[in-house]
Structure 1
Amino acid sequence: MQRNDEMKLGLFLWDAGYHEGAWRDPSAPANCGVDIGHYANLAALAEAAAFHLVFLADTASVSELDDAHIARSSRNDGFEPITLLSALSSRTQEIGLVGTATTTYNQPYNLARMFASLDHLSRGRAGWNIVTSGFKREAANFGEKELPDHRVRYARAREFVEVVKGLWDSWEDDAFIRDKRTGIFADITKLHLLNHQGDYLSVRGPLNVARPLQGYPVLVQAGASDTGIEFAAEFGEVVFTAAPYLEYGQKYYAALKEKARALGREDDQVLVMPGFIPIVGRTKQEASEKLERLHSYEHIDVQIGMASRGLGSVAELRSLNLDSLVPETLPQTNFIQSRQKLYLDVAARQKFTWKQLIRFISDTKGHLMVVGTPDEIANTMVETFDQGAADGFNVIPATLPGGFKDFVDLVVPELRRRGKFRSGYSGHTLRENLGLKRPPNRFAQAGVMKKDPDAVEQASAFDTAYG
């Protein structure tokens, strides 16, 4: 199916902004990571601008690697995503609510229940950003010494997602009849047991909440390694990726769509939304001064810590000659492999020294950043969209709220003038607004009845005794 000519836009919400120095900006509340008013105001601003969704990242640990970095980071004082999105569901009406949750250190029953609840609370606006844990400190928080192998993490994730989808199909859409006259609350002919026994998981079901309003919350994924792209092609409906320049984005976009087509999926049902960092000024100089101000807020310990973690903890950066060129290869990491590969690709393309790569990682974490006027930023977005590298963008303001207000006030009108972004909502659910189909219930579609034998036996005994 042909996509329309309007891009999809999300807002990446991360306390004071994406730049590590953002929390020191005078306009950012010092406690913004745990200030519900801060998040509610940003969500309202995004909704008023007709953004499709807000997006919350997450990790199950303090991810900084040393105390010097932890001391200067604002990332360890923030809300858990599903909790925050549940609160935002009552303060918004139309915008999608996407939260990150790992398949490595969660159980599918609990996660299926929480996202189904969020979908009901928000009246069909929930999305799940599916990740496998990629930071070394997460393992110790769950009784393990090391992260599972990269391949094992993805194998478990594949099984995990299938189990969650199966649990969401526990009840058919009209199973809860809630008939006060007859006293029948649920039609158990429309109840289905999962009874999953797999390599990593054993889950009986059924889920004790009605099927999500969207069938399934929108499935978001961010895989960029070879294994990750295969996973995204199989499950992802929105794919959040890093594409620091046009050719990189085009290559990723084409590869993902091709793999998805091979699995029988339609192009417009797999939406690629790379991260995009706009630093907007009314003049180029004003925009550059904003970035330089952020640089002044960021300590060298934070820059080196970010780069070391981003490269997979395989290089001791403090012992290197930072004016030397970055090598073409580094030892393979068991952490976020795709990001290490991306950084090395950019370093080779730009002939970066270590000092330049550290700055690039600090500023962008691999995403496309444009520092310029509204027209320059709109030009880049439209070119990326029109040249087959994106279906839209996850907008990642360097500072919040200021950087996002600049984007809404100055760039969004320019995108609308060019016919590239909508001015209002077209549907009630996140799926409807993204143009994604509602998935059918697998059991109802197949005509399968996997009833709970205990419930059937009890119902039969009740009928015999009292019928």
Structure 2
Amino acid sequence: MSGNQRSIVLLAMPSIHSGAWRYPGAQPDFQSSFEQMKWFAQILEQGCFDGLFLPDSLAVRAAPIEALARGHSVATLDPLTLLPALAAVTQHIGLIATASTTYNEPYMLARRLASLDIISGGRAGWNLVTSSNPNEAANFGVEQHMEHSARYRRAREFCSVMDGLWESWDEDAFCRDAVSGFFFDPSKMHALDHRGPHFSVRGPLNVERPVQTRPVVVQAGASEAGRQVAAETAEVVFTYQTDLPAARQFYADMQRRARAAGRQSALKIIPAVFVVLGDTLEQAQEKRHQLDQLVDDESSLATLSIALGHDISQYDENGPLPEIPESNASKSGRDRVIQLARRENLSIIALARRVCGYQGLEMVGTATMVVDQMQQWFEGGAADGFNIMFSHLPGGATEFVEQVVPELQRRGLLRRRYEGRSFRENLGLETPPHGYSRRCANGSDCE
């Protein structure tokens, strides 16, 4: 690609479709196997993907055991244990770890992400999430899950502390001068001395400055609070928009918020998309139907209750979705499910099957058809790229790299080789300037 031409950002994650692990040819233990995950990272790198995204949760979800027993996401490897190992067997791809600001402490997380950035040569990313699963509270000695708005206030301060810790050392602080006897220059070490509503952190971080200065920060909140935190802190924003007009509005809103927060460079807006490929449209549609048939109804109803933050077992599953009260669960996810039910007039059981399969943006068809849709969103001001979920693994990833990637490259929409050294460079993101953490979102001195 020419230097002035934008490239579609491609991220990927393991499939979340509940039937994917049962699909013919799928590896049921994919997300718990290092060898499978190593293959996954390497095939994505072969396809010039920007990053590998690993979702995570700190608890088994709240559902009946019969439903849990039929799902494939009950046990996955810890991202911040897995990704350093994948860094050793890859060279270019970004490595994005999901980590909660609700049940972590900033010093520990800043240290682990800085270490990942150094180990990988500048390829670390952090998916900043606020925990929505109330079961996580019980795993951390908390009787009641933190209220939604409080989670986001904590997240904003958490991110500010992380930024300050990542600037504990100047870039040239470690001289390691055997003649003078100085291992580092004391004038280039900075203690944070943060005291705020949620955290008291002295610092400095006992890990060197990250290669990227700041690992790439990703955020997926779509509620009002989530959008604002993303605009103030993130560089990549995941979204679950499903139609082009709404996606354009979201894109414009996020860029406006970022500018209002004093951000100098535009955010990368990355919708999640579930891709099902076939040699013909009919073949791809049949594959999608086969996947949906592999979803267990009991598991899907339990998943729907979690998504809504409300037990729906008391209602007729063949009837319409009733009015659902507010809850302390993810507000954007809840609203998205309710809108789907209303828009398509779905019964509870039909809605549950969609939610347990996938209810977001879908691209089902031939490779040419999928690229046509990607190009429309990319050039139409709705997306800078896509977070790809494959129909099944490993086959779905292989099909995408062999069929979709060459078509994207033929149209000049995707690089043919990596040009940057770091995740940040390959995404086209600027390196934060020296002292960035000591400035407020509006650019004025915080002190």
**Could you tell me the TM-score, scaled by structure 1's length?**
0.90
Give the helix-richer structure, 1 or 2. Answer: 1
TM superposition shift of 1:443: 7.6
Secondary structure of residue in 2 paired with 1:185: coil
> Aligned partners of 2:251, 2:346: CA distance in 1, in Å?
25
Say whether the 8 Å CA contact 1:274–1:367 is kept in structure 2: no
Say whether the 8 Å CA contact 2:127–2:219 is kept in structure 1: yes
Residue in structure 2 matched with residue 6 of structure 1 by the alignment: 7
- Aligned 1:303-322 pairs, distance under 5 A: 303-312=300-309, 314-316=310-312, 318-322=313-317
> Aligned partners of 1:6, 1:26: CA distance in 2, in Å?
34
Secondary structure of residue in 2 paired with 1:5: coil
> Aligned partners of 2:48, 2:308: CA distance in 1, in Å?
36
> Aligned partners of 2:20, 2:363: CA distance in 1, in Å?
17
- Aligned 1:395-410 pairs, distance under 5 A: 395-410=388-403
Residue in structure 2 matched with residue 20 of structure 1 by the alignment: 18
> Aligned partners of 1:443, 1:301: CA distance in 2, in Å?
50
> Aligned partners of 2:345, 2:91: CA distance in 1, in Å?
48
Secondary structure of residue in 1 paired with 2:25: coil
Residue in structure 2 matched with residue 247 of structure 1 by the alignment: 245
The alpha-carbon distance between structure 1 residues 441 and 302, as it changes in their structure 2 partners (threshold 3 A), is same
The alpha-carbon distance between structure 1 residues 356 and 443, as it changes in their structure 2 partners (threshold 3 A), is closer
- In the alignment, does 2:351 pair up with 1:357? yes
Say whether the 8 Å CA contact 1:18–1:399 is kept in structure 2: no
* Structure 2 segments unaligned to the other structure (5+ residues): 440-447
- Aligned 1:48-447 pairs, distance under 5 A: 48-266=46-264, 268-312=265-309, 314-316=310-312, 318-327=313-322, 329-364=323-358, 366-442=359-435
Say whether the 8 Å CA contact 1:175–1:190 is kept in structure 2: yes
Say whether the 8 Å CA contact 1:192–1:443 is kept in structure 2: no
> Aligned partners of 1:184, 1:400: CA distance in 2, in Å?
51
Q: Which amino acid aligns with 1:379?
A: D
Q: Which amino acid aligns with 1:5?
A: R
TM superposition shift of 1:445: 8.3
Q: Which amino acid aligns with 2:160?
A: E
> Aligned partners of 1:370, 1:438: CA distance in 2, in Å?
34
User: Which of structures 1 and 2 has the bigger CA Rg?
Assistant: 1
Q: Which amino acid aligns with 1:326?
A: L
Deviations 1:243-294 (A, max 9, x none): 122222122111111111111224x531000101110001112112212222
The worse-fitting range, judged by mean Cα deviation, of 222-231 and 349-358 is 349-358
TM superposition shift of 1:3: 8.5
The alpha-carbon distance between structure 1 residues 248 and 445, as it changes in their structure 2 partners (threshold 3 A), is closer
The worse-fitting range, judged by mean Cα deviation, of 106-115 and 414-423 is 414-423
Say whether the 8 Å CA contact 2:297–2:353 is kept in structure 1: no
Q: Which amino acid aligns with 2:267?
A: V
**Could you tell me the TM-score, scaled by structure 2's length?**
0.94
> Aligned partners of 1:122, 1:10: CA distance in 2, in Å?
17
> Aligned partners of 2:247, 2:367: CA distance in 1, in Å?
22
The worse-fitting range, judged by mean Cα deviation, of 355-364 and 170-179 is 355-364
* Structure 1 segments unaligned to the other structure (5+ residues): 447-467
> Aligned partners of 1:151, 1:100: CA distance in 2, in Å?
20
> Aligned partners of 1:444, 1:401: CA distance in 2, in Å?
41
Residue in structure 2 matched with residue 465 of structure 1 by the alignment: none
- CA RMSD of superposed structures (Å): 1.8
Q: Which amino acid aligns with 2:207?
A: V
The share of aligned pairs that are identical, in percent, is 41
Q: Which amino acid aligns with 1:287?
A: A
TM superposition shift of 1:145: 1.7
Q: State the 4+ residue runs in structure 1 displaced beyond 6 angstroms.
A: 443-446
The alpha-carbon distance between structure 1 residues 147 and 331, as it changes in their structure 2 partners (threshold 3 A), is same
The alpha-carbon distance between structure 1 residues 390 and 320, as it changes in their structure 2 partners (threshold 3 A), is same
Q: How many residues align?
A: 437
Q: Which amino acid aligns with 2:163?
A: K
> Aligned partners of 2:105, 2:437: CA distance in 1, in Å?
25
Residue in structure 2 matched with residue 464 of structure 1 by the alignment: none
TM superposition shift of 1:195: 0.5
The worse-fitting range, judged by mean Cα deviation, of 288-297 and 131-140 is 288-297
> Aligned partners of 1:121, 1:398: CA distance in 2, in Å?
32
TM superposition shift of 1:179: 0.8
Q: Which amino acid aligns with 1:8?
A: V
The alpha-carbon distance between structure 1 residues 71 and 3, as it changes in their structure 2 partners (threshold 3 A), is farther
Secondary structure of residue in 2 paired with 1:133: coil
Q: Which amino acid aligns with 1:273?
A: I
> Aligned partners of 2:199, 2:138: CA distance in 1, in Å?
21
